Amino acid sequence: MDVAAATERIAVPRYLVVTAGILLEGDLRGHPSHGLRRLDVLVQRIRNGLAQPATQPALTWSADGVLNVDGRMGLGPPVAFRALDALAGRVARTGIAVAAIRDANHLGMLAPYVELLAGKRLIGIGLTTSEALVHPWGGARAMVGTNPVAIAVPTAGPPVLLDMATGQISMGKVLDFAARGVPLPGGVAVDENGQPTTDANAAVRGAISPFGGAKGYALSVALEALVALLTRTALGPDVRGTLDATERCTKGDVFIAIDPRAVGAADTAALDAYLTLLRRSDPAPGHEAVTVPGDRARSAREQSLAGGVPVLSATWERVLAIAEEVSLDMTAPPGGN
């Protein structure tokens, strides 16, 4: 995402281009739950004064490798990228640096953030909390966030790239299934009575199930505890503001940058060979090939760039309606050229 070039070409503030780019990445990579369908709520949050697009975050180094970030109600992507720029500048000296972000709006997909660090030959780790959307293992009511985690490890080629929620499915995807009128896969959610359901609308009223049963639940709680403690943000049912247009955002975000050269691990030859070994290993019946984390999203992105970005018609109609509301001519070429 060439933010500088795009900003100059369409003559809009950088923070809006950055945020639009993150939404686009969701659709490009085959995750419409984190794509343009999020625009409507984001616009409403701005109109309701819950997101301040032009605000500048306050960055304070509280220790040599610890950055405290007060987002000041800013849009999540530009706040996070400011923090990542600061980490990348510091980690050459400290070897590892951590950013704890509070009072910033939804980040969207985590993958592009840690990918940025991997592009600088750094290991990137991203953690964030969400509203209580997941039921505890053995519980029936939503009490825990989906609490995504992303990890990018640089290689000679594309990085190993993990981006996953600790619920069986994200709420964004549940809402996407509901919008398309498609049933959920079995075992990913329960209704308001705690009974398993494939009805996406019933799941919205109920709860998402933790992935991997008790292990996924334990991981989610551990990540929530880590993020909330470091960012001094809310926990569980007190987290608000990533899905609604009525509450101030109370989740937290943590990014960690690690320079492998600090421990003499700049050479990725062994890792590269291992990834090749994995990709060339025999696929199981019913599978075309073995992939490593990040392969499928990159493939989806390449296909979208080549053949167009699939967007649900209802989502695109809402985008056009928002454009009309702000007197933006969607038929005019960017920049008026």
Q: Are residues 40 and 102 in the same domain?
A: yes
What is the rounded distance in angstroms from the CA atom of residue 163 to the CA atom of residue 219? 15
Instruction: For the chain, give the percent of residues with pLDDT over 70.
Output: 94
Q: In this structure, is residue 326 part of a structural domain?
A: no
What is the mean pLDDT of the segment spanning 327-335? 65
pLDDT at 233: 98
Comparing 20-34, 42-56, 78-92, which segment has the lowest mean pLDDT? 20-34
Helix H or strand E segment including 216: helix 214-231
User: pLDDT tier at 253 (50, 70, 90 boundaries)?
Assistant: very high
DSSP 167: B
Tell me: do 120 and 135 sit in the same domain.
yes
Tokens of 230: 């470091």
Q: Tell whether the model's pLDDT for residue 307 goes beyond 70.
A: yes
CB of 67 closer than 8 Å to CB of 98: yes
Of 149, 148, 150, 140, the residue nearest 208 (C-alpha): 140
Q: When comparing pLDDT for 11 and 16, which is higher?
A: 16
Mean pLDDT of the chain: 92
Region of poorest pLDDT, from 10-19, 192-201, 234-243, 277-286: 10-19
Does 192 lie in the same domain as 159?
no
Same domain membership, residue 107 and residue 84: yes
Q: For residue 10, what pLDDT is reported?
A: 52
pLDDT tens per residue, range 82-110:
999 999 999 999 999 999 999 999 999 99
Checking if the pLDDT of 3 tops 60, the result is: no
Helix axes 14-28, 111-119, angle to 10 degrees: 100
Q: How far is CA 186 from CA 189, 190, 198, 202, in A?
A: 8, 10, 6, 13
- pLDDT for 335 equals 47
Beta bridge partners of 153: 160
Question: 296 in a domain, yes or no?
Answer: no
Percent of the chain at pLDDT > 90 equals 83
Question: Closest Cα to residue 39, out of 309, 316, 327?
Answer: 316
Largest CA distance in the chain: 59
- What's the domain count of the chain? 2
- Residue 127: which pLDDT band, with cuts at 50, 70 and 90? very high
Last residue of a domain, one of 262, 291, 324: 262
* pLDDT range class, residue 314, cuts 50, 70, 90: confident
pLDDT of residue 11: 58
Q: Which domain holds residue 20?
A: 3-167+210-262
Predicted confidence at residue 297, as pLDDT, reads 95
Pair of tokens at residue 273: 């060979």
The single-letter DSSP state of residue 242 is S
- Give tens-digit pLDDT for 131-144: 999 999 999 999 99
**What backbone torsions phi and psi does residue 24 show, to the nearest 5 degrees?**
-60, -40
* 226-244: average pLDDT: 97
Nearest CA among 291, 251, 227 for reference residue 219: 227
Q: pTM for the complete prediction?
A: 0.92
Burial class (CB in 10 A: 0-12, 13-18, 19+), 288: exposed
- Mark whether 163 and 176 lie in a shared domain: no
What CATH number did the domain enclosing 177 receive?
3.30.60.50
pLDDT tens, residue by residue, 171-210: 878 988 998 899 999 999 999 999 999 999 999 999 999 9
Which has more confidence, 27 or 331?
27
For residue 47, being part of any structural domain is answered with yes
Q: Within 10 Å of residue 81's Cβ, how many Cβ atoms?
A: 21
The confidence band for 20, taking pLDDT boundaries of 50, 70 and 90, is: very high
Answer whether residue 1 shows pLDDT above 60: no
| Structure-token pair, residue 258 | 């690690």
Element (H, E) at 289: none
Same structural domain for residues 201 and 242?
no
| 76 and 21 in a common domain | yes
Asked if residue 240 and residue 219 are part of one domain, the reply reads yes
Average pLDDT, stretch 240-265?
96
- Cβ–Cβ under 8 Å, residues 185 and 170: no
